[in-house]
Amino acid sequence: MEVSIERDGLTLRGLLEGSNQVHNKRIAILMHGFKGDLGYTEESLLNQVAHRLNAQGLATLRFDFAGCGHSDGRFLDMTVFSEILDGMKIIEYARQRVGAKEIILVGHSQGGVVASMLAAYFRDVITKLVLLAPAATLKDDALIGTCQGTNYDPKHIPATVNVGGFAVGGDYFRTAQLLPIYETAQHFAGPVLMIHGLADTVVDPRASQKYNIMYQNGTIHFIKGASHQLNGDGDQRTQTLQLVADFLV
């Protein structure tokens, strides 16, 4: 079912699936990556993760961050901080409107960074965390002035940077340079599953390895031949879905 919440005058739109009830005691919140959306096509990663979990009895809630997909706002105004604020409202929605007592966060790419930080902020609420190719390297990239093949001066950040046809605001890079990603994420002590493709050309698998070293209750899987979207010319996506399902269901 389609759902919407308000965050600072913006409407965030999403999908509550896997249950015909408004109230669910256990739910997984899925968070998409940079330039992405909640997954509107059948082949998209979050769509397949959600439906796999739904098939095994776990309700899912996935949203477009502000400025992405069908949610209000401008992509130009998007930062990791703005997505954290979105995530806080989404978690509040799951607690207050859905009535969830057990909340799981699943984040892909930049959504993994956001999920890892939110799990720490809500360490008394979040029970499990899944990081799919978490893009913690976005901080390192911002420090040297690169973003998915686009270069800029990191010491004199422009008002906007065109990244693959998307106008990204300078505030995104300014805040990314000083993000306390791992410093924050380490405060989550619950079970964590990390999955990263060894053929990922967008985010170096070492980002997940660093998370794994930091977490006291983490499990990591590197999938040979898997891309940033955790697919390839074999069964990489199938492996990913099975690992997530086994961990959560």
> Which domains are seen in the chain, by residue range?
2-138+181-248 (3.40.50.1820)
* 7: three-class secondary structure by DSSP: strand
Query: Which pTM value belongs to this model?
Result: 0.96
Instruction: Check whether 168 has a pLDDT greater than 70.
Output: yes
Residue 22: pLDDT band by 50, 70, 90 thresholds?
Answer: low
How far is residue 142 from each of residues 60, 167, 190, measured CA to CA in Å? 32, 15, 29
Query: What are the tens digits of pLDDT across the range 63-100?
Result: 999 999 999 999 999 999 999 999 999 999 999 988 89
Enter the tokens of residue 96. Answer: 């207050």
Order of strands, sheet of 59-63, starting from the edge strand that comes earlier in the sequence: 2-7, 10-17, 59-63, 26-31, 102-108, 126-132, 192-197, 218-223
Q: What burial letters (b/e) apply to 75-93, b meaning 16+ CB within 10 Å?
A: beebbbebbbbbbebbbeb
Instruction: Check whether 21 has a pLDDT greater than 80.
Output: no
Mean confidence (pLDDT) of the chain? 96
